């Protein structure tokens, strides 16, 4: 079955803009997931029947729309998508919530209005278990690692966690931590297949190397971004795992 984007999200990609709570047009296309990435997220939700989901970094709402729309017909009393963002009601003027309302998806969305290191522990205390999580919050190593560390406490074995903007060296460092200190595997078949030309991708690849020469030594950059400009990577949790108190591997 082919995946269809919600109309509101199609309009966002076609025009580059969304409407906020004040009915103001906001340029969103430069700070959101791509259409190809949205389709991959939706396919993951559809294939895994992910009922309880979470994302860090809601912004203009493209990922929230994709995730909520993909499971709109799922059954389950606990169906919910938790979106964590301290700026949704201020900087973004509820643009994501407005878009969800247009698609009548607001009832399956809960905004946690605050930083993830304060909001996620509240879900852990409530005993929330996740089928899927999308990490797209603050991009530094410490905040990304902390997002993952807390999400790992809630993600069910077999569950999926996806990371956006993986061209950031800080996030690649987190990926190395995950693969050495927890039981996860990269789901290679979930690579994004974008529509950009090979020449466009190559130019973007070389531009990143010019601006961040350290990417020359990045296996992720060579394995993923030489062929596609997407920064999305998908991991599956193999099992719950807590290392011994003295455990350490270089990452």
Output the six-digit token pair for 171: 């996030």
User: For residue range 105-150, what is the model confidence (pLDDT) as tens digits?
Assistant: 999 999 999 999 999 999 999 999 999 999 999 999 999 999 999 9
Q: Is residue 210 one of the residues assigned to a domain?
A: no
Q: Is residue 206 one of the residues assigned to a domain?
A: no
Q: Is residue 44 one of the residues assigned to a domain?
A: yes
Q: Is residue 88 one of the residues assigned to a domain?
A: yes
| Alpha carbon distance 69, 108 (integer Å) | 10
User: For residue range 146-194, what is the model confidence (pLDDT) as tens digits?
Assistant: 999 999 999 999 999 999 999 899 999 999 999 999 999 999 889 887 7
Cα pseudo-dihedral 98, 99, 102, 108, rounded to 10:
-90
Q: Considering its fold, how many domains does the chain have in total?
A: 1
Q: Is residue 219 one of the residues assigned to a domain?
A: no
Looking at residue 195, its pLDDT comes to: 72
pTM reported for the whole predicted model = 0.93
What CATH number is attached to the domain comprising 178? 3.40.50.150
The percent of residues above 90 in pLDDT, for the chain, comes to: 80
Residue numbers of the domain that contains 144: 7-196+230-237
| Alpha carbon distance 203, 233 (integer Å) | 21
| Alpha carbon distance 193, 184 (integer Å) | 23
């Amino acid at each position: 079955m082919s995946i269809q984007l919600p109309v509101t999200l199609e309009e966002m990609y076609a025009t580059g803009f969304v409407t906020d709570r004040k009915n103001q047009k906001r340029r969103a296309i430069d700070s959101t997931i791509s259409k190809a990435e949205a389709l991959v997220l939706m396919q993951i939700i559809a294939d895994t029947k992910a009922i309880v989901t979470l994302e860090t970094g809601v912004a203009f709402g493209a990922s929230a729309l994709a995730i909520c729309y993909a499971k709109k017909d799922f059954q389950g009393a606990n169906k919910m998508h938790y979106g964590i963002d301290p700026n949704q009601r201020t900087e973004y003027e509820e643009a994501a919530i407005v878009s969800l309302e247009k698609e009548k998806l607001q009832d399956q969305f809960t905004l946690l209005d605050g930083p993830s290191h304060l909001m996620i522990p509240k879900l852990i205390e409530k005993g929330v278990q996740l089928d899927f999580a999308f990490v797209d919050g603050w991009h530094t190593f410490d905040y990304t690692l902390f997002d993952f560390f807390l999400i790992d406490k809630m993600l069910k074995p077999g569950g999926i966690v996806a990371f956006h903007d993986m061209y950031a060296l800080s996030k690649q460092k987190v990926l190395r931590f995950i693969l050495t200190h927890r039981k996860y595997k990269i789901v290679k078949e979930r690579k994004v297949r974008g529509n950009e030309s090979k020449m466009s991708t190559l130019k973007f690849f070389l531009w990143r190397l010019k601006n961040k020469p350290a990417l020359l030594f990045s296996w992720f950059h060579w394995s993923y971004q030489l062929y596609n400009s997407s920064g999305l990577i998908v991991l599956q949790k193999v099992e719950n795992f807590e290392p011994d108190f003295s455990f350490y591997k270089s990452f």
